[in-house]
Amino acid sequence: MPNRYTKSKILNDENGIEYLNRIEYPPIPLRDSDVLIRGVFGQTFMNIANEYYGDKDLWWIIARANNQSESIYMTPGKEYRVPQSVNFILQEFNLLNK
């Protein structure tokens, strides 16, 4: 799967300076199909994304679903949800970033 940065476009400001456009992310609502797990010391969202989705680059889905932006590491003992509607989330992501 392409990573989330493949949707970045290079734009120019009024001074001709290049910058990447802002990436938009879809809301990730709670669903009955979500899996709940407990964080383990040293575990990262990348590890979980690789385990559940087969793609470590989809770590941002788990992080966003859990409102976690400060660290890629999971807090031991804390409950996290792992969305299972990945295709739907990626479809929404692609629509937002055409």
Does residue 7 have a pLDDT over 60? no
In a domain, 10, yes or no: no
Does residue 89 have a pLDDT over 50? yes
Residue 98: what pLDDT?
81
**Which positions ≥6 away from 38 have C-beta within 8 Å?**
76, 77, 78, 79, 80
Residue 44: what pLDDT?
97
CATH number at residue 64: 3.10.350
In a domain, 53, yes or no: yes
In a domain, 90, yes or no: yes
Task: Determine the 3-state secondary structure of 73 from DSSP.
Answer: strand
pLDDT tens track for 15-52: 888 766 678 899 999 999 999 999 999 999 999 999 99
Identify the domain containing residue 37 by its residue range: 25-96
Residue 1: what pLDDT?
47
CB 35 within 8 Å of CB 79 = no
In a domain, 55, yes or no: yes
Q: Output the pTM of the full model.
A: 0.79
**Amino acid at the residue 16:** G
Residue 11: what pLDDT?
66
* Number of structural domains found in the chain: 1
